[in-house]
A = this chain, B = another copy of it.
Amino acid sequence: MKEEKLPFALIAIDLCLLKIINNELCVFLTDVNKDSLYQGLKCLPGGLVRLDESAEDTLKRIIVQKGLLKMDKIYTEQLYTFSDIKRDKRGRVVSCAFLGLYSGLSEEGFIPIGKIKKLAYDHSLILKTGLERLKTKIEYTTIIKKLFSNNFTFSELQKVYEIILGKEIDKRNFRKKIDSLNILEETKDKRKEGRMRPASLYKFKTKNIETLNILG
């Protein structure tokens, strides 16, 4: 691409991919290109939308390109389109951003939210927007299921709610509420760990995200 200005903006996608690791909310980051004006900074994975691709196609391509991540372990939804003129110092790029939740096992590339300082471009804003979306949506949908691959204990589920919402939840009321929603299935397995009483393992009954009042 030459350095002259194009008559119109380019379109890119960026992905805010979240995952829980060790009781911390993490986001997948990569390094910016070497020749970039954002030297040394990290950024969300992304790329330009080609002529023969929808934004969703581009998203899939980027996910595959970044390797490591198997598509069926990633849930994505459109987040917001960022079009500020100066959002990318290199030139005019409009970004159609996606929120993603990763339920795979790989932890490579994921950085705890709390440890992130400054990101390239406007990616701090995209991250903030993604976190808000997740926080809002776990209150009225079962989107949280996209963060789990294996079966899980009630405590683990509760912990993830607490991490995302940033507040503690009463154990008894939580169990009562989730029970009443009828979205979980008890498996026959139990989790034994250390010298604790084994906990029953659960899984979500369906794969699709339902809308209902989860917490309130």
**A interface vs B, CB < 8 Å?**
5-11, 48-56, 78, 80-81, 83-85, 92, 94, 96, 140
Distance in angstroms from A90 CB to nearest chain B CB is 14
The DSSP consensus for interface residues of chain A is loop
Number of copies of this protein chain within its complex: 2
Q: Which of A54, A56, A83, A94 has the most CB of B within 10 A?
A: A83
Contacts of A84 in B (CB 8 A): 54
A11 to B81, CA, bound (A): 11
Q: A8-B50, A81-B81 are in contact. List 14 more A-B contacts (CB 8 A).
A: A5-B51, A7-B51, A8-B10, A8-B49, A8-B51, A9-B11, A11-B11, A11-B94, A49-B83, A51-B92, A53-B85, A54-B83, A55-B94, A96-B96
Are A96's CB and B78's CB within 8 A? no
Are B51's CB and A9's CB within 8 A? yes
A83 to B49, CA, bound (A): 9
Q: Which of A10, A53, A54, A78 has the most CB of B within 10 A?
A: A54
